[in-house]
Each structure stands twice: as structure tokens, then as C-alpha cells.
Chain A
Amino acid sequence: MTELDPEGLVFRDDPSKRSSFFAGQADVGRLLGMITALTGEIAMLRARLDTHERLAAEGGFDRTKVEAYRPDATALAERMADDQAMIGRVFKPLSDELDRLLEDPVVQKTLLETDR
């Protein structure tokens, strides 16, 4: 339950278990976890590619130079913006669904029917 206990604490029904949001379909949760990790790997690859391109522009480079490369503030800001756009594209179906819910009076009406 979600009531505070006498010490003011609240825990999941079984605090020893991880949060599970898809009852009976734990694989959906795991799949989302994997997608999350995958976006991290895409981001890392994009950053590496960006490093290659920037070093290429300066002349030759090798693995050591790539490993040692750290973006300056401008390059980092460009990368972060690029990453936000990538995240936005990957998670667009969710974001679109939220926009739709905001304009869907029928679903909103069902949400008012709580189990209070």
C-alpha cells in the first residue's frame, strides 16, 4: 500500500524486489531497460565518431589520440544537443502518446474514475 507507516516511511509491497511496472509482463520492463542501455551505446558511438571527425579535421590521428580526446565546452554542448535530438527520436512514440493524452477527453474521463 502507499500509506506512510508509523515512522513516516513508505516502501513497495516487497521492498526486496525491484520495481515492476508491467505486472505479468516483466519482459516489457526488461526490454525498456535494454533500450535505455542501447541508447547509451549509440551515444557513445556517436561521440567516438564525432571525435574521429574532429581529429581528422586537425590532420592525422590514431587510437591513442582518440582515447585522449576530450571535447571542449563548445564541442560538448554540440554533442549534448545532438544526443538530446537522438533521444527525442528514439522515444518519440512515447512523447507523441503523451501529447495525444493531453488532448483526449475520453481517456481523461476514465482517469477520473479512480478506485478511491
Chain B
Amino acid sequence: MSATPHAMMPEATHDEAARFAHVVGLKNFLMRQLEPKWRSLVDEKLTPQLAAEGRDAKGEYRSLERSLARLGAYRTWQQLTVSAQEEMWRSVGECVDRQLPELERRASDPTAGGSVRTDPQFRPPRYLSTVDIHLMPGGYADDRGEGDVRQGAVFDKAAALYHMGRNGGELNDVRGHTLVQHYFDRFPGMTPERILDMGCTVGHSTTAIAGYFPQAEVHGIDVGGALLRYARARSASLGASIHYSQQNAEQTDFADGSFDLVVSSAVLHETSFKALPRIMREAHRLLRPGGVMMHLEVPLRFDTASAWNRVRGLFEALHNNEPFWIGAQQADIAQTVRDAGFADVASGYQPAVRVADRAAEPRFTSTPGPVHVVWYLLSGVKR
């Protein structure tokens, strides 16, 4: 393993690093060796047989899932998938706990740039508080009080494993660069002076975005104090001064017209039908006239998903604790953006980039692609 990418990243011992590599290997095995077999059973064997009976496997995905669950082998695969995820959090948690006092000491440096504002009265919305998303123990909002950075450190270390190197390695910032590339593709002459990242978690994307606009004042909001304290220290150690605050993206305390760029990255699919229009209206309120809103999302749609993808989606929703996973793929998010009053609304696919380039030929396209190769991008302008 290489040196840590920034001062806050927990360091792994020899054995911890070996356990991490194994968790990645196990997830890889479940996803690349076993899952394709379920996919071919459902999409290549069962779907045509159902079609021959005049039935639609895609429409019947729920009862098909119950049917599969009668097989011990299916239940074993489900359990192993959950166990591998739990093992990831367990092994990362153990590594973080071993060095938590040191991480907290580093995060408390009063000379570090940026700021954190937490709110003891804050309550996360139901879609985040009912279950621990991705099975991360304690959930995004977990906070043990003043100075705590544990959940941030756990999330940061695990994210690099979770994405298995596909989101920019240990910095996990490909999505941030991709958002900026979308901005350059669509608005080549513009430079934002005040930027808000909604649902910033530990600032992976926020920090990448800030790097392109060194003069800008950059804010990030999320629901957990421990995430945000960690995020501030992480971005400071990467040379970015970012202002983090504990707020709900549906309703913030920033004044009207505070920003000229409002973004979110991989956040909307963790909200709800009710929250989507509220977040769009809030972004609209927060933008000055001429300001831009951009959301990056997983490039998956339910209508085009095969029967297996739907069954797998249901598993993700129920057992990897992603309650809005299916709802988000069914929602017409672009319509909520238009309804919120945005003009020049565009939606499509932005090829993932490791570095954004203002001079590059625009590659924003209507052609879908796989997750991590392209991201779904939705943007609009406040008139």
C-alpha cells in the first residue's frame, strides 16, 4: 500500500491492509463470479420461459425474487453479500478505533483552513434515519459529540474499498472532477464565486471541485457532525478551505441568492419522492439569477432494467439499506427541476474523468453507459 493520500486517512497495519484487500476480493468474487450466474438464470433461462407462457419477468420481479428465495443457494448468496459488507465495516472500524485519538488530535488543529458548524438540535430526515445506509453502523448521522471524527474516518477508508478503485482510488474524487467537467462542457465561460455542495459526506467531491476555483468560497452540507469535522480536516490537509455545516438540503439557513453554483453528487438516490422537489426548490432559492444547479447520479433507470437487475435492485434496497434505490430510478427528476422553475434544463450522461479540462471537447451525451464509466448529470439555470 502506498503512503496515505492526505493527513486524515487512517493508516492500516500490515494485517489490516491484508484484511481490507481480502474484503475487496470477496466482494469482487460475489459480484463478478457468482452474480453473473444468477443473472443468466433469471435473464437467460427464466425470462424466456416466462415469456413463452405470455408472462413478463420484469413486471413480476417481486414474486420472482420470492421464488428465488426458496432456493438455499440464493439465500446463501444473499447472506454472504451482506456478511462481506458487514465485514468491510467491521475491519475498517477496528482500524479506525485503534488510531482515533490521533485522528481527533489532527482534526482539532485550530490553524487549519475552513470551518465546521454543527447543530445539536439537528434531526436527519426519515429516509436517512430509518436504516443505516449501506449497512454502515450508526449511519451518516452518527456523532459522539464535540471533536468526534470517527464516522468520517470510517466512511473515507471504506469508500476507497467500496468503490474498488473505480472512483479515483483513495481520494475518491472522480465524481467531483466529472461534475466540474459537466460545468465546463455546458457553461464554458463561467467561473463560480460561491459554491454549495449538498450531501458532501467527507468532502470527496467538494474538495475536488474547490480545487478548480481557488478564489471561490465553498460550502458543504450534510447530516452528521462527525462526517463534517473529518471533512474539514481532510480538505484542509489537501489545501482547500471549505466551510461545512450540519444542515438538511431540503431547508438550509443560507440567505436567498447566496450561491452561483449548487451541486450534489450521488445524493438524490438516497432521499425520497417528497424530498426531491423540496431540494430542487431550495437550490433554486439559494441561487442568484444566472446561477447554475447540477446533480450527479447513478446512471440507472428502472424501465430499461432487466428482471435480474430489478431483483438485484430490490436486494440493494432491502438488504444493503438503500431504501430509495428503486424509487429514484423510477422518478422523473428532470421534471422536478423544471417544476422548481429552472431554465435550460439538460439531462444526460457525462463520461467520468479524473481531471476536468475547460478546453476539452464537450462529451456530455444522451447515450447511457455503465456506472463509474459515465454518470447521469442533470443541470439547469436560474433565470
Contact = CB atoms under 8 A, between A and B. Distances in A.
Contact of A19 (B53, B62, B77, B78): B78
A3 B65 CA distance: 13
Interface residues of A, number: 59
Given A15-B131, A113-B67, A116-B63, A29 B79 contact: yes
B33 A95 contact: yes
Nearest to B28: A84
Interface of A is mostly: helix
B25 A43 contact: yes
B75 interface: yes
Interface in B1-51: 1-2, 13-15, 17-19, 21-26, 28-29, 33-34, 37-38, 40-41, 45-46, 49-50
Given A11-B323, A36-B83, A112 B53 contact: yes
A57 B84 CA distance: 34
A2 B314 contact: yes
A26 to B, nearest CB: 11
Nearest to B274: A7
B162 interface: no
B88 to A, nearest CB: 10
Contacts of A32: 76, 79-80, 83
Interface centre among B26, B46, B272, by most A CB within 10 Å?
B26
B21 A79 contact: yes
A9 B272 contact: yes
Interface residues of B, number: 71
Contacts of A51: 14
Interface centre among B65, B73, B84, by most A CB within 10 Å?
B73
Contact of A33 (B15, B83, B127, B317): B83
A7 B272 contact: yes
A10 B323 contact: yes
Interface string B183-196: 00000000000000
A66 B18 CA distance: 12
Contacts of A101: 37, 41, 71, 73
B65 A84 contact: no
Contacts of A66: 14
